[in-house]
Amino acid sequence: MRELANESLSASDRPWSFSISGLDVEAELEALLHVGRGTRDADWELFRLGVMARQAWIAPTFDQLLALEHVQFTPLPHQVETALRVVRDLRGRAILADEVGLGKTIEAGLVLKEYLVRGLVRRALVLVPASLVSQWTKELNQKFRIDAIPQRDEWTWEAEGVVVASIDTAKRPPHAERVQAQWWDMIIVDEAHKLKNPSTKNWQLLNQLQHKYMLLLTATPIQNQLKELHTLVTLLKPGELGNPAEFAERFVASPRTPKDPAALRQTISRVMIRNRREDGSLELPKRHVRVVPVELTPEERAFYEAVQAFLRSEFERSQTARTSILPLITLQREICSSAYAALLSLEKMLKKARDPDRARCLQSLIEQGTSIPSYAKVEAVLKMLEDAPEKIIIFTEYRASQDFLMYTLKKHGISAVPFRGGFRRGKKDWMRELFSKKIRVLVATESGGEGINLQFCHHMINYDLPWNPMRLEQRIGRIHRLGQTHACHIAHLVTKDTIEEHIMEILQEKVRMFEAVIGRLDDIVSDVRLDLWEKRIFEAAMTSRDDEEFVTQLKSIQVEDLMMQKGGARRR
C-alpha cells in the first residue's frame, strides 16, 4: 500500500495544523485502471467490510475510555475513574500513588491501552524492578491484550510496540545509550520511589528520555523528605513545583513538614492521583487472623533463656563500650524466629570473638543450640499443613529458617518451593508458576515478597513476626489484595513466654494506631520510617526486669514520638 506523504494545507490563521495522509489516491486509481485490481465483486464486498472495520475502530469522543471495550476483565470504578482522569485532565503525565493493593498496575495498563487503541501511542517503555518484568509482561498481554515483550538484549530497545524492562538494566551501558536514542510515545515507571534522588543514575536516565506521556507509579511518593516529591514531579513536568529553591521557599517548613499543605495538595493534584482504601467501596474478602501459641520444647526453652542471658550481658557491655547493638538486635530477632537462625549469628560472632571468655560462652551456646532434638514451631507448621489441605504461603524473616523449613517439608513429603529476593527474574517466575500450578507450599523470605501477587492462595503462616508493623501488612498484602476472591486465613506462630508473644500483642495494637495516625497524616506523606521502633523494642527487652515491665515499656512507646524524632511529620 503506497502512503501519501503528509501534505500540509494552509491553515495559518487557525489554532491547528492540517494534513492529508493515508492512501496515495492517484496511485491507487492508477492500479485500478491498469492492473485491474479491485474490480471483482468480492472486492466490493471487502470494501464494505473495510468500511465496517474502520468505523469499528473510531475514537468518537475525547472523553470516553475506549480501552474498556478491549480488555479482558472489568476494572473497578476507582481504576476507571483514575485512568480517565489521567488521559483527560492530567493529559498523560501523572504520578499514580494509590495505596498498596488498589491496582496501580491496572490503572497504568488502562491508560496505556487507551492510548494504543486511540493510535496515540505506538512505542512504549515500561520500566520495572527486575523481579517484576515477567509479571508485568504477562499482565499486559493477558489482561490488557497488549502485545508487550520483555527486554532481552540491547536490540530489544529498537523493537516496535511495548517493551518491558528492568530499570537497572536500562541505566547501564550499552543499554542506556540505546534507550536514550529512542523516541518513546509513553513511559511507565513502576516503583517510582526509586527516582527520588536527582543525582542517581535512575533519575538521570529518565530525565534524558524523550517521551510524550509518562506515568510514575509509587505508593510512597514521599519516603523521607518533601523534596522527593519535587524530584518526581520535575521528571513529569519541570517547573510545576518551581525549581528546588522555589519549592523549598514556598512549600517546605522542615524536611518533613509542608508549609502550606492546602496549596501543596492543590498543586500536586494536577499531577498526582492517590486512591485510598478508606475512600471507596474497595472491600476485600474477609481476613481471619489468628495467633497460634507455640510452647517451646524444654531444650529450646533452655537455649532461649541462655541466649537471652547472653544478650543482656552483651547489651550492658555495649552500653559502656558504646558499640553497635545492631548485631544484638539481629540475634534477638533470630532467636524469636528459630534456634536454627540464631545459630548462624552465634557462629559469626564466634569467628570474630577475641575475648576467650566470650568465645567459650558462644561455643557453649552453639553446642546447646545444635543439640536441640526437635523444634516446636516446625511441628506446629506440620500440624497446620495436615489440618488445612490448601495452598499455603509461609513467611519468615531469615534465610536459615527458610532453608530449615524447606528441608523439613521435603523430609515429610510435602511439596514446597522457596522464594526470595536474590533469585533471578526467571527463577522467581518459575517458582511462582510452580506454586500456582502444582506445588502446595511457598516458603518466602521478606525480601522476595515485594510486588509479587499471590491472590490464588489464601492461607498464610507467619513463621516469625517482623517487628515493623508495616512489614507485616506488606506480607499479608501479598494475598489479601484486590483480585482475591476468598477469605484469607492468616496464622501468626508465636512462642509462649518469649518477647515475641508480647510483641505480637503490641504489634496488633500499633498496626491499628499506625493506620489511625497515617490516616491523619498529610495525604502525601504516606510512609513513616520505623527504624527507631525496632531499637526501642530491643532496648525494652534488654532493660526490663520481667515481662510486665517489658509490656509496660512497649506500650509506652508512642507512634507520634517515633515520628517526631524522625523529623516531625505534620499531624492534623
Partner 1 sequence: MNAEIQAPLRTPEQRLSFCDRYFTSVGARTLVARPMYREYELPVDVDKELIERPFYWMWVEATRQSVEPTVLRLAFDAEAQAREEARLNAEQPPAPFPWSLKRRVERIDFGSPLFDRILLSAARRGRIASVREGNAGGELVPWMMANGVFAYTADLNREEWFSYAICLDNLQVVDRFYERIQHRDLSGVPASDLLRHSCHTVHDAWRKLQRALADHVAAQDDAWAEEAMARLHGDLAQLSAYYESLLDELTDEERVPVLQERDRKQAALIEKSAPRIECRIHQVALVGLRVQRARP
- Please give the single-letter amino acid code of residue 338: S
Residue 512: φ, ψ to 5°: -60, -40
- Are 285 and 487 within 8 A, CB to CB? yes
Separation between Cα atoms, residue 146 and residue 139, nearest integer Å: 9
* Closest CB to partner 1 among residues 26, 355: 26
* Closest CB to partner 1 among residues 33, 487: 33
Site residues for partner 1, 383-442, by CB under 8 A, read: 433, 437
- Are 101 and 54 within 8 A, CB to CB? no
Contact string 68-107 vs partner 1 (x = CB under 8 A): -xxxx--------------xx--xx---------------
- Are 124 and 162 within 8 A, CB to CB? yes
* Closest CB to partner 1 among residues 245, 262: 245
* Closest CB to partner 1 among residues 45, 379: 45
Residues touching partner 1, count (CB under 8 A): 79
CB of 9 to partner 1, least distance (A): 5
Which residue of 5, 12, 74, 119 would you call a contact of partner 1, by CB under 8 A? 119
Q: How many residues does the chain have?
A: 572
- Are 288 and 490 within 8 A, CB to CB? yes
Backbone region of residue 104 per phi and psi (left: phi > 0; alpha: psi in -120 to 50; beta: other values) = alpha
- C-alpha pair distances (Å), 307 with each of 13, 402, 453, 554: 84, 21, 37, 21
Q: Cβ of 387: how many Cβ atoms within 10 Å?
A: 7
Q: Cβ of 395: how many Cβ atoms within 10 Å?
A: 29
Site residues for partner 1, 139-178, by CB under 8 A, read: 145, 147
Contact string 213-252 vs partner 1 (x = CB under 8 A): x-----------------------xxxx-xx--x------
* Closest CB to partner 1 among residues 2, 571: 2
CB of 472 to partner 1, least distance (A): 32
Helix/strand/coil for 414: coil
Separation between Cα atoms, residue 394 and residue 377, nearest integer Å: 12
- Are 144 and 71 within 8 A, CB to CB? yes
Q: Mutual orientation of helices 227-236 and 244-251 as an angle, nearest 10°?
A: 130
Q: Which stretch binds partner 1 (CB under 8 A): 130-138, 189-197, 203-211, 390-398?
A: 203-211
Let me know if 431 is exposed, middle or buried by CB neighbors in 10 A (0-12, 13-18, 19+): buried
Site residues for partner 1, 518-547, by CB under 8 A, read: none
Site residues for partner 1, 28-67, by CB under 8 A, read: 28-29, 31-33, 36-63
CB of 94 to partner 1, least distance (A): 12
The partner residues of 252 in beta bridges, in order of sequence, read 258
Separation between Cα atoms, residue 362 and residue 351, nearest integer Å: 10
Q: Which stretch binds partner 1 (CB under 8 A): 27-35, 280-288, 355-363, 523-531?
A: 27-35
* Closest CB to partner 1 among residues 2, 317: 2
Separation between Cα atoms, residue 335 and residue 467, nearest integer Å: 13
CB of 205 to partner 1, least distance (A): 13
* Closest CB to partner 1 among residues 29, 326: 29
Q: Which stretch binds partner 1 (CB under 8 A): 9-17, 252-260, 416-424, 558-566?
A: 9-17
Which residue of 80, 85, 118, 399 would you call a contact of partner 1, by CB under 8 A? 118
Which residue of 80, 100, 120, 559 would you call a contact of partner 1, by CB under 8 A? 120
* Closest CB to partner 1 among residues 57, 407: 57
Q: Counting contacts by CB under 8 A, is residue 548 touching partner 1?
A: no
How do beta strands 392-396 and 148-150 pair? Answer: unpaired
* Closest CB to partner 1 among residues 29, 516: 29
Q: Which stretch binds partner 1 (CB under 8 A): 1-9, 155-163, 170-178, 342-350?
A: 1-9
Which residue of 161, 174, 210, 496 would you call a contact of partner 1, by CB under 8 A? 210
Q: Which helix (H) or strand (E) holds 267?
A: helix 261-268
* Closest CB to partner 1 among residues 33, 516: 33
Separation between Cα atoms, residue 346 and residue 340, nearest integer Å: 10
